[in-house]
């Protein structure tokens, strides 16, 4: 139970930090670059991958069974 809570907190932390950074990167669009350039830029950064890992950890800690019946 405590391990699942730990995974939930780690996943939440990764998702929040990465999500805030991805939102901050939206300032690229206001400098005159387009949406395509934004996606091209964020795919070279580690934040979208960390965000995906965080969401997977949250989902895994909530929905997968603990093994105790």
**Separation CA 44–CA 17 (nearest Å):** 17
At 49 the pLDDT is 95
pLDDT means over runs of 10, the chain (69 residues)? 92 96 91 90 94 96 77
At 65 the pLDDT is 76
At 68 the pLDDT is 66
HSE-up (13 A, CA, CB side) for residue 28: 16
Q: Per the structure block, which two tokens stand in for 39?
A: 């996606």
Domain spans, the chain: 6-61
Q: Annotate 12-46 with b (16+ C-beta within 10 A) or e (fewer).
A: eebbeebbebbeeeeebeeeeeeeeebeeebeeee
pTM score: 0.84
């Amino acid at each position: 139970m405590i391990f699942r809570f730990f995974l939930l907190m780690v996943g939440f932390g990764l998702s929040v930090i990465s999500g805030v950074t991805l939102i901050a990167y939206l300032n690229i669009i206001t400098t005159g670059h387009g949406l395509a350039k934004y996606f091209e830029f964020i795919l070279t950064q580690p934040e979208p991958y960390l965000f995906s890992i965080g969401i997977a950890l949250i989902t895994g800690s909530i929905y997968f069974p603990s093994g105790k019946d």
